[in-house]
Amino acid sequence: MSPPKVELHEIQATVLRLRPAPYYGSHVLFRVDDAKAGHEFLRRLAPHVDSAANWWKPADAWISVAISYAGFKALGLPAESLQSFPEAFRVGMAARARELRDEGVNDPKNWEPLFGNGEAHIGLNAFSDSMEKWQRIVEMAREQLRDLHGVRVLAVQDFGMQPGDRNSLGYKDGIDQPAMEGVGVDPLPGQGNPIKAGEFILGYPGETGVPLPMPQPDILGRNGTYVGFRKYQSRVGAFNRFLHANGKTEDEREFVAAKLVGRWRSGAPLTLAPDADDPALGADPHRNNDFNYAGDTHGRRAPFGCHIRRMNPRDTQLTRLTDVNIHRLIRRGTTYGKPYDPNELSEDADNVERGAIFLFISAKAMATMEFLQQEWIDEGNFIGLGEERDPIIGRQEEGAYFTIPKEPVRRRVHGIETFNVLRGGEYFFMPSLSALRWLGEFQM
């Protein structure tokens, strides 16, 4: 622990607080038809939004609130304020599909109709550690709509922890998060040097030494951050069929599955457990992230193209040089729908409603997401892998493969498909608690 330097009592809890275990919750989207009603809704919600003060202490139930650009317009924010948001935020995630490489099956024209049409104005996220408290907190949020005509619920997407805390493809997740400077907690082993708070929260210096531009006025921008909301459908049948095509025994299949991510499904990293799973290691937060790639410069443990090495290359020597610390996102991943089952092989299993919903949080979430999609997900040149894409979240072309470096010759596994299809997404701004109150009392 070290004394916090950022204004934790101003920042929404979800920015820093980890999801509980077990977790239950809902993402709720609202539309504002009447600006005054929108202000009133925010005014009522604000006292129920937890701050990040003491974020490291276990919490049982909380909500966070974020607003899209269309939402700010619907709330009647003045033009000079609206114009002060970055362009990618203003036009929205769907309009940035090219920059995000959201093409083919991931193209916004294939998204669920709810997304990408400027309808989602306010996003509310409810997290809880028990089913009862989750229901209570969602009910509390709904209560704030009582007698309020002019704000309506567009959609409620429930989520919850799957058995064994596994995600929609059967892996333990939520392990690594970027460490942040000045938030009161020292990094866990392997988290790396703390990154400047301004990379994640507006109003503080970032890695370049200067704060990023904030939406205006200051009361609106300071201690706020951006959220990229992305909903993925997991094609469990395709993923399992791929594993079966590349592994005759369960052990062989688990080995290929581990190589795709860089961790065994238990969470144990391949850099520390290269030959066999070590569930005790996977479960230990003081050990399961305590590695870099210095001892694996040929990718023989964690392949260069595996999901976690792409998403956070740590100290890997990259063909295209960049500072890894300026491309980090805080991830709040949540799973929804039917739990993963390794025995489901049918094509029907691909269409079962299940997958993962992420909140990607950063003071420049739009730019970071575009960078990740263009450079580290749907490409391989930065690690000398040409056209090869991220095997977990890449959008794959016909004939895609994945390279597993090994001695004496590398192995190529074929038949990689798009295992997670994007079903929709939106950009939101998650204001500080003062900004929420300011919006609540806003006079047009």
Residues lying near ligand HEM in the complex (CB under 6 A) = 167-169, 171, 173-176, 230, 232, 234, 261, 263, 307-308, 311-312, 331, 355-356, 358, 372, 392-393, 420
Beta strands in 380-435 (DSSP E): 401-404, 411-414, 420-430
Backbone torsion region of residue 125, taken as left when φ is above 0, otherwise alpha when ψ lies between -120 and 50, otherwise beta:
beta
Closest distance to ligand HEM from the beta carbon of 10 (Å):
26
Pinpoint the alpha helices (H) of 127-249: 131-143, 218-221, 236-246
Rounded to a whole number, what is the distance in angstroms from the first to the last CA of the chain?
Answer: 44
CB closer to ligand HEM out of 281 and 308 = 308
Give the Cα separation of 156 and 11 in Å (integer).
24
> In angstroms, what CA-CA distances link 175 with 164, 257, 286, 338?
14, 17, 11, 22
Closest distance to ligand HEM from the beta carbon of 218 (Å):
30
Pinpoint the alpha helices (H) of 4-144: 13-16, 35-45, 69-74, 79-83, 87-91, 97-100, 131-143
CB closer to ligand HEM out of 34 and 344 = 344
Closest distance to ligand HEM from the beta carbon of 359 (Å):
11
CB closer to ligand HEM out of 215 and 425 = 425
Closest distance to ligand HEM from the beta carbon of 72 (Å):
25
Identify whether the C-beta of residue 138 lies closer than 8 Å to the C-beta of residue 27.
no
Tell me whether residue 23 is exposed, middle or buried, using C-beta atoms within 10 angstroms of its C-beta: 0 to 12, 13 to 18, 19 or more. buried
Residue 19 tokens, joined: 């999801």
Closest distance to ligand HEM from the beta carbon of 418 (Å):
11
> In angstroms, what CA-CA distances link 56 with 13, 59, 185, 203?
10, 9, 8, 22
Closest distance to ligand HEM from the beta carbon of 368 (Å):
9
Pinpoint the alpha helices (H) of 20-96: 35-45, 69-74, 79-83, 87-91
CB closer to ligand HEM out of 178 and 431 = 178
CB closer to ligand HEM out of 22 and 76 = 22
CB closer to ligand HEM out of 62 and 171 = 171
Closest distance to ligand HEM from the beta carbon of 190 (Å):
9
CB closer to ligand HEM out of 221 and 282 = 282
CB closer to ligand HEM out of 75 and 258 = 258
Give the Cα separation of 302 and 374 in Å (integer).
22
Closest distance to ligand HEM from the beta carbon of 23 (Å):
14
